[in-house]
Structure 1
Amino acid sequence: MDGGSGLNILYVDTLDAMHIPRLEQHPVCSPFHGMILRAQAYPLGQIDLPVTFGNQANFCLEVLTFEVVDFSGSYHAILSWSCYAKFMAVTNYIYLKLKMLGSNDVITMGSTFSHTFTCDREHYELATAIINSSKLPRLEELSTLVVLDCNKPTSLATFCPLEETKVVGIDPTNPTKTVRIGTQLLAK
């Protein structure tokens, strides 16, 4: 559970283990931040998958969109706040519980503190190993990864869109409030 994340993450190893063809993914051009220290990464694509909580007698099913990433993680997937909103689930991080309304009753999912500690330790060790290994400089060289210089200030003048944009007004009473949108956006 990552209630602070806005993306549902699925590792490509998990996708392969589920025997889902990679052709099922939709292309994505937007990077995301926070998975690799001081870097932005580009997903391999997005995929819509049905996710079920509960059992045959009492379940809740929703289709979620996952960002498929091609690097190691200590989890199979990471579910974001958008997942919990879609399931109308209530999380309690202190008791490690997740509750939602099922087809017949309340569904309660939980874990143990020892299991959570083990997962956190594996995640920390994996992140530390990647940072301290020769893999991080190799990752920085890949075209799907752009390393940010955190000590160098950035400005809006350094932003350069990848495609043509157009200006759209967002407040009819104030013509100075505008936003730029891409002209090549695909309709869904």
Structure 2
Amino acid sequence: MPDLLWDDVKVLFDPEVSGALPDVVVEGTTVEDWQAVLDLVRAQGWQYAYSVGGEPMELSSVADMVAAAYGGGMPELRVTPELRVWPIPEVLMIFRMYQTESIDFDVNLGELQGQERLDVLVDVFHAIGRRLGKPVWMSAEGSPGHPDLVFDVEADRVVLAFDPGV
């Protein structure tokens, strides 16, 4: 049985209601957690592409991302590294290193329509949440602090963070 049923959550995946790119975050992270996510992406065999300031680059370790994100100690050189991940070819997730203390990524609601695609998202939340031992939160675009979905570590499942019928 899936964690979530499409008919119960489809309102959360309506771009007109939730915005096109909901925010996904894992809070309280470290450089090691970022490395664990990169290792997970590679271990799962998910396709990925790395860029800094829009320029494609090779990514050998998260240390490369940190150096770019923090400008090598020179704030004027800061850029936001992006790791584009495709758990399946039709679904793109964009991880952005704004800071090491949280793992932030976007998903495109247009790519997440129907039970099959919802299950892909849930599987990614499971993989990341289990690997890090931390909750993975999804909220409507620009609505941090008001999550819609969460990977609950103790329950080991993705759950609704509120009643969508309210």
Decide which structure has the larger Cα Rg and report it. 1
Pair in the same fold by TM > 0.5: no
Q: Which structure shows the higher helix fraction? A: 2
- Report which structure shows greater RCO (CA 8 Å, sep ≥6): 2
Q: TM-score, normalised by structure 1?
A: 0.27
- Normalised to the residue count of structure 2, the TM-score between the two structures is 0.29
